[in-house]
Amino acid sequence: MIEVEIKKALKKFMIVLSMIVFALLVASFSPIQNTISKMSIQNTKKKSNVSTTLTTKQAFEIAGQQYEIANHYKKKREWLYKEIFRGGDTIYSNYTYLSDHTEYDKAKFKLTITKYKVNGSTLEFISSAKITQVHSKDGWKDKE
């Protein structure tokens, strides 16, 4: 009788142990998949610098678009989401500067554009933005 009870308890233990191992494997699959994805996409990375002039409103709109792009990758590729989001933050902080300094109607920006190949398509986003000059009714001047 005790032997049967031990066998039943051992079976239950093995089932629970199997479930725990399976859960751990499933939980670790996503980070592994994310790392493999990151390595393959990182190999396609290309950066370039662009200068452009934007109004305060345009800077705000571009920041919003950047955050939308980032959110598309939030669950699938967290590393890519963070990279795009950080770029959006640099644009947004420059928008904040312009909105705080209403004497400026536009600014010249130096943008770093990053391109990746993701699933056969080119993903392009701003990875950094910096105001180099500001414009007011008195003309252009270097940002202090």
Could you report the per-residue pLDDT of 54-97, keeping only the tens digit for each?
Answer: 999 999 999 999 999 999 988 878 889 999 999 999 999 999 99
Report the C-alpha gap between 89 and 83 in whole angstroms.
10
How many other CB atoms are found less than 10 A from the CB of residue 20? 10
What is the pLDDT, as a whole number, of residue 26?
56
pLDDT score, position 11: 80
Cite the DSSP H helix spans in 1-144: 2-42, 56-72, 78-100
Is a pLDDT exceeding 60 seen at residue 29? no
Q: 95-108: string of b/e by CB count within 10 Å (b at 16+)?
A: bebbeeeeebebbb
Nearest to 135 by CA among 111, 99, 107, 110: 107
Determine the pLDDT at residue 25: 58
Per DSSP, the three-state class of 44 is coil
Cα 114 to Cα 48: distance, rounded to the nearest angstrom: 7
Closest CA to 131 of 47, 64, 66, 54: 54
* Residue 59: predicted pLDDT: 96
Taking CA 71 as the corner, what is the angle to CA 69 and CA 76, rounded to the nearest 5 degrees? 105
User: Which residues contact residue 53 at a Cβ distance below 8 angstroms, ignoring those fewer than 6 apart?
Assistant: 106, 107, 108, 109, 135
